[in-house]
Amino acid sequence: MSLANYKFNYSLISNPNKPLILFLHGFMGNIDEFNEAIQLLSDEFSYLTIDLPGHGKTQVLGSDDCYTMPNTAQALINLLNELQINKCFLVGYSMGGRLALYLTLHFPERFSKVVLESASPGLATEAERLERIKRDSQIGRKLIRSVEKSDFAAFLANWYDQPIFGDIKNHPQYNFMVESRLQNQPIELDKSLRFMGIGTQPSLWEKLPENKIPLLLLAGEYDRKFIEINQKMADICEFAQLEIIQNAAHNIHFEKTQEFVRNVRIFLD
């Protein structure tokens, strides 16, 4: 997918003496998703952060196909080429973790080590994918209605009531995070959900055992669903290791920033 179809909003802080990490945010996140972690890592690493299609200030200039995982992945590779980044580390959270795994499996020569936080290879069966597409369509309709009713904040409040997020609403920075999420456009988020949601992305389960890039899989202690998924991933991929982060749910880098950074630093060292 040509870069001409996208106007990516990104930030590159590069030092030739420091290895570079490409960070990919989750659904409803943006370029600032990993700011706290980056502050703790910036003495040792350069970094590239990007608003993914449907998020933040990135503009999709082409058709809706530009939101799909294969096309988004190719566009990111094209961006790396333009920035003359031949190889880097890769860190992805949730949706960004699914995209990071796709990039790893399809462009393995570009990434030396990869951290997948609360991520998955997608859904293995057609029945699961169809069910998820149906569910994501319902979420998309709620997003569109939130525009009509001007209550995107209410949508976010309901979103973070989901069990996988644990008690994230009690985090001292929760309101700040919500303010950041509110910068997104619900109509664009709906497109991201429809075209790069877990139901529409290609399943990566069959390709995962072929992977030879070192993978660090992070899952939160209270996120039982993703512990189970990531344990299966580690079982079938020789080059994957799973770390379970104590006292965390789905959004580990937000809830337990220090522990997240400690694991990333050890793995990338």
Write the pLDDT tens digit of every residue in 174-203: 999 999 999 999 999 999 999 999 999 999
Q: What is the pTM of this model?
A: 0.97
Q: What is the pLDDT of residue 150?
A: 80
CATH topology for 3-123+202-268 is Rossmann fold (3.40.50)
The pLDDT of residue 170 is above 90: yes
The tens digit of pLDDT for each residue in 153-166 reads: 999 999 999 999 99
**Distance (Å, whole) CA 20 – CA 66:** 26
**Distance (Å, whole) CA 165 – CA 150:** 24
The string of DSSP codes covering 135-172 is: HHHHHHHHHHHHHHTT-HHHHHHHHTTSGGGTTGGGST
The tens digit of pLDDT for each residue in 246-258 reads: 999 999 999 999 9
Q: What is the pLDDT of residue 98?
A: 98
DSSP helix/strand/coil, 125:
coil
Contact 169, 213 (CB under 8 A): no
Q: What is the pLDDT of residue 2?
A: 81
Name the band, by pLDDT with cuts 50, 70 and 90, for residue 119.
Answer: very high
Contact 236, 230 (CB under 8 A): no
Q: What is the pLDDT of residue 231?
A: 98
Q: What is the pLDDT of residue 147?
A: 82
The tens digit of pLDDT for each residue in 204-225 reads: 999 999 999 999 999 999 999 9
User: What does the pLDDT average to over 244-269?
Assistant: 98
Distance of CA 258 to the CA centre of its chain: 19
DSSP lists the bridge partners of residue 20 as 46
Q: What is the pLDDT of residue 166?
A: 96
User: What does the pLDDT average to over 58-71?
Assistant: 96
The percent of residues in the chain predicted with pLDDT above 90, rounded, is 97
